[in-house]
Structure 1
């Protein structure tokens, strides 16, 4: 028979995978981008458009100009929809180009990786449900859920602390693992970098992490209360 610890480990990992991906989708919304932009005093950015060029490479024929926060939100919405798989086409412009071919290639890779995480999240949900179903047959479901939620919260909190201390190295490590082809490095004047600067990634990471820890603790507390109530339930004699 599988041990309780093994069940807790499986549930914690499955819960973390499903929860983090689900919350990443929630935090990819316009509301999060707008809130983070306002918190950082961002009212807009400077974008550059390219081409068409007759005698020079497209990247040599560029014009820079201001772009409003509303326009940034529009681009973010289009890219988020594409990456999440809700649209099969990457956002485009007509006439002059806003993003380079390298930026489009990287976002196609981001889409592929995130779609993989989405599939993993669905599998994680089924694994978690199966794990709980087995524990339920033993009358141990609430204890398993409580322990699994606490372990997953501890794991995510630990990673969150590490990210708070060394965000840049961990961010780079993440990209090196999931994008080994190395096409994730762009100059500071890249429109993709200007659309998604460091304040965005730091805010999203913190938001997703804190939301997950809070949800896991609520789940653990709810399970604990259910266990306490069950232990206090008795059948009167006579």
Structure 2
């Protein structure tokens, strides 16, 4: 085409205007295709069908209609569930690892494994045993209190005998044998008090060695002073051990009162039984053979020959055989009385054990 070409004749036929009529649009929402109902095939409106039948010219479809048609042609893929993803993922991973099959256990697979019935019963038994087990420390303190109590009673009874009060009661009681070598009751009380005081003080052997009698001679011989020094070591050791046991018993009582209700009562009850058994046993040996019992007792604590004296020696005149018999009886009586009182006060009655009247006795165990 050049400039000399004839200009085409202008079209006289008017062009049709674009169809802007929205009356044929459906009332379907614009995003109805996202729902299940939008996936179905849209209905063709009567107006559009009528338009298609007139001259074969179809009216343009609405945007919502086109979307619904596309959704009807190609339905969306179903979203797999979480369980299916967990099942498929291990298989996909197993296919990509060295070409061999590999599957990982599910996160909760370990919880589905139940141990054997024997193992379950064993674990239950161990839990019940641990729950029912009582602490060991209160039991240890109860046993120690039961062992300390008889020794403390014996030491206290010995301390009561090694006192000027008991000495006075012995010398003034009816039937006590007199001294055949000239000591009066007042002389015995004076010289005997020195001997008894020496056993409980911290003085040296000169406390007795420097004493003189009425004639100006030594009151105690060297052998007697040496034996009294040995007796003093035994007595002070017993008193020191008794004091230590008293402190430990007080600690045990304080601990048991806080940690073990009824522990003090049980410990003292058992200790009183042990004390009764000891004192009854020793009393039976003394009754069956006092001289043999007295000899064996001295052999335990003193060297052989260091505790035998003549009848005219001062120690024998102050402390004759009857004095030691009476001392043994008083010690046994004091321990026996204290043990019986403790036994009565700590007897495991229902009220002390906290049991009801109709509750069986085995309930405490």
Q: TM-score, normalising length from structure 1?
A: 0.78
- 1:211 to partner: Cα distance: 0.7
Instruction: Give the Å deviation of 1:193.
Output: 1.1
Distance 1:8 1:70 in 2: 48
Question: Which structure dedicates a bigger proportion of its chain to helix?
Answer: 1
SS, match of residue 183 in structure 2: strand
Alignment of structure 1 residues 29-44 onto 2, 5 Å: 29-39=163-173, 41-42=175-176, 44=178
Q: Quick one: which of 200, 215, 228 aligns to 2:323?
A: 200
Q: Which has the higher contact order (CA 8 A, sep 6+)?
A: 1
Task: For residues 46-92 of structure 1, give each alpha carbon's deviation from its aligned partner in whole angstroms, at most 9, with x where no partner exists.
Answer: 44xxxxxxxxxxxxxxxxxx111111011111111101226555231
Aligned match for 1:170, one of 287, 290, 293? 293
CA RMSD of aligned residues (A): 2.7
**Unmatched segments (≥5 aa) in structure 1:** 48-65
Structure whose CA Rg is larger = 2
Report the alpha carbon displacement of residue 111 of structure 1 after superposing the two structures with TM: 0.6
Cα distance, 1:9 vs structure 2: 4.8
Please identify, of 66-75 and 82-91, the stretch whose mean Cα deviation from structure 2 is larger.
Answer: 82-91
Task: Flag the structure with higher strand content.
Answer: 1
Q: Does the 8 Å contact 1:176/1:182 carry over to 2?
A: no
C-alpha deviation, 1:8, in angstroms: 5.2
Please, which of 189, 193, 212 is the counterpart of residue 93 of structure 1? 212
Q: What is the aligned partner in structure 2 of residue 118 from structure 1?
A: 239
Q: Give the secondary-structure state (helix, strand or coil) at the position aligned to 1:184.
A: coil
The 10-residue stretch of structure 1 (139-148 or 30-39) with the greater mean CA deviation from structure 2: 30-39
Q: What is the CA distance between 1:207 and its match in structure 2?
A: 0.3
Cα shift at 1:181: 5.3
Equivalenced residues, count: 215
Cα deviation for residue 229 of structure 1 reads 4.3
Within 1, Cα distance between the matches of 2:141 and 2:274?
11
Aligned counterparts of 2:147 and 2:212: Cα–Cα separation in 1: 41
Structure 2 counterpart of 1:132: 253
Contact 1:149 1:216 in 2 (8 A): yes
Q: Who is 2:33 aligned against?
A: none
**Which residues of 2 match residues 51-200 of structure 1 at below 5 A?**
66-85=182-201, 87-88=203-204, 90-91=207-208, 92-93=211-212, 95-136=216-257, 137-139=259-261, 140-180=263-303, 182-200=305-323
Any conservation in 1 of the 2:150–2:271 contact (CA below 8 Å)?
A: no
Question: Which residue does 2:129 correspond to in 1?
Answer: none
In structure 2, distance between residues paired with 1:227 and 1:77 = 50
Query: For the structure 1 residues 8 and 131, does the alpha-carbon distance in structure 2 shift closer, same or farther, using more than 3 Å as the test?
Result: same
Give the TM-score of the pair, scaled to structure 2: 0.53
Distance 1:226 1:29 in 2: 38
